[in-house]
Structure 1
Amino acid sequence: MERHTGREKACLFDFNVARETVESFSAACGVSCAVLNREGEVLFKTSVGSEGCSACRAIMASHGLPFRCGKLHLYGAAQAERFGGRYIYFCPSGLAYFASPVMVGGQAAGALVGGPALIMDVEDYLAGEPKAWQGLAAEEVSSLCTALESSPAMEPARLSHMSALLFAASVYVGDNSAALLAHREETAQQQDIGVYIQQLKLERAERDYPLAKERELVHAITEGDQSTARRLLNELLGHILFSTGGDFRLIRARALELMVVLSRAAVDGGSDQNMIFDMNFRHLNEIDHLRTAEDLVLWLTRVTERFVSSVFCLVDVKHKDVIYKAIEYLKRNCQGKVTLEETAGYVGLSSSYFSKVFKEEMGETFNSYLSELRISKSKAMLLTTNASIAEICDRCGFDDQSYFTKVFKKYTGVTPGRFRERRGRLETEKERSAWPDGGEHNQRKKGRSSL
């Protein structure tokens, strides 16, 4: 690791916190990371995965070429501050870096810089012939290839994710980088809404509330689609501002109505019902303190993002738990008149959403699974008890014996009596062809022998 003593004393942020943060980032991501002061000087740097950078410096030095890495990273940090907290850039040799400013008191007090990283194969990299490598001797190219192969290689998408993580780290080190990003997002949203309002004016649009667009927004929230939800919300907000003429009371009323609709969408999307109700209670307390249309716009944006996040973050984890509970419930109650609505209520989901989740996770519909479960139970009773077929029919949740026989044959290819007689042994092709129906049993291709 590389460390410059003395200068960290002049830091406007906690140098020890910054050092520990970049050490953790570097160890977790496998990429070198550095702490810079506001002049671009390196205060501390890890050496993980920096072989490519070292090779670059060595070769340029051997050729007497200047390298201005300090100015390069200072530029990257300045661009990161300009563009909302994160910026990916490339050195003259084509290696990728990413920077985030450390903000203190509204000013950039330094920066965190990650890299270098190679976002292409070494062969492709060299084929691009970076200016710094033109005219290199064969042994120098070989040395460079060895160093580059030891450098962290990644897809652009992974580089972007690392940039986002480094920005989060800079927020932790500084005091208000989050405000920088929030300001950028607010400005972008205001521009989007302004453009949409201007479009409505030019088109002389109707001032009636766009229910169709609201339904689209509800669907986006149900699906946990953050980007689509944000776009549709901006358009709805633009229409509300346009149609109300900026009347705060009307905007407030529309915002409250929309909050209720969107909260129900989050529940239908799989969010925990009690959690959403608690969020609504807090949101109602927040709106009482808002005094301008701009405040209402920002408030409703945050509310919507919370609803979408609750769907996005919980749905994958929740599904497995929900299905496990549902199956256990069905196994305990399949002998009765159990319904999809009852089971959905037991696991805490709306019936429509539960039906969708069940089919996605189990690969079959709720009714199909329930029928299969009942048939499985009846097969076990036919083989292990002396109960009559009528009794088994009743204890496995079937109201009518003829219907039970029909369903049983659909899943097994034989009647309940024949199944018991053969002790569950499957019939051969020759035996099936001897049956009056020519062996055309509706054999279920996808079934479970036990549940």
Structure 2
Amino acid sequence: MQECNSIILKDIIDVDEMKRILNSFVLATGLGAICVDAQGELAIVPEEHEGYCLFCKEIRRDQEGRKRCNESMNKAGKLAAQLGEPYIYRCHAGLIEFAAPILFKDLYLGSISCGPVLMWDWDEAAVEEILSLTNDLGINREKLIDAGSNIKMLTGRNVQAAAELLYITANHIAKSNIETLQQRKELNDQQSQLAEMIFEQKKAEERIRFLEGRIKCKEYPIDKENDLLDKVRMGDRTGAKKNLNEILSVIFFHSSGNIELIKARILELVVVISRAAVEGGASMDKLLGYNYSYIFELASMNRFEDICFWIVKILDTFLDTVYESRNIKNSNLLG
């Protein structure tokens, strides 16, 4: 388990959705629940929770008490992440809380901290222990004892069930946003490469114009297309993507931003790539089905960057189909 410096909790978690879920949890169970980041600081607090219970609020009035609360939540969240499951623990003030980790792959981004609860009677012995643990804090003892008497009491089974529910919920939300984050990164990387290629092509054409007085650059790099098709037939994913990006930069440059012209050229490119995939061993019937749906998808797009990201995913699909067909043939031969 690692901590992540480049990705923060709110990159992965939809704040409004998490607030809605935590609000429902608080109302349904009567337990407090908040979301803390990788440093143990408050990140998402549902309106129904109002931050903390009266007991916790009294503890956190003291600076040292607030520090210990944050340290407890931070430590518990990291231990939960290491275990890969909810972690039930006693906080620094002696009450039961539990942490459900929020992970991005193997990176710890934060946790849902829930509680406090009691798993024993609020009797004289319990009060004495609480006062002993908080003896050095500058707080009102009477308010603390009164607040403690209102803390919800649960069985171990109830606590475990509540912890599991929060863990499953939080990580379902996180996983649903991971794909979007990855797509955004891939799109940014691709756009950066395209921008660099377009810039280099523009410089090259200006150099030719200066030397010869006219543009001798081809309007369409047929040699690059042939290289692309060869790599598709061979199943060379990395080489094919490199050639595709070079072709996309040329299409953009020579289309003068005309999105309909760009889409027409992209559709032609999809067709020839699919033919090359069939020549590489892919199923013709499967690719024909793909191509039919791709026509409607492309028609709905109006941004060049979206089209670029889309055709790269299509290339991946075609290559996956090539690999799949080869694996089936190899299995048949071995059988």
Taking structure 1 as the reference length, what is the TM-score of the superposition? 0.37
Higher Rg of the two aligned structures = 1
* Greater relative contact order, per chain length (Cα 8 Å cut-off, separation 6+): 2
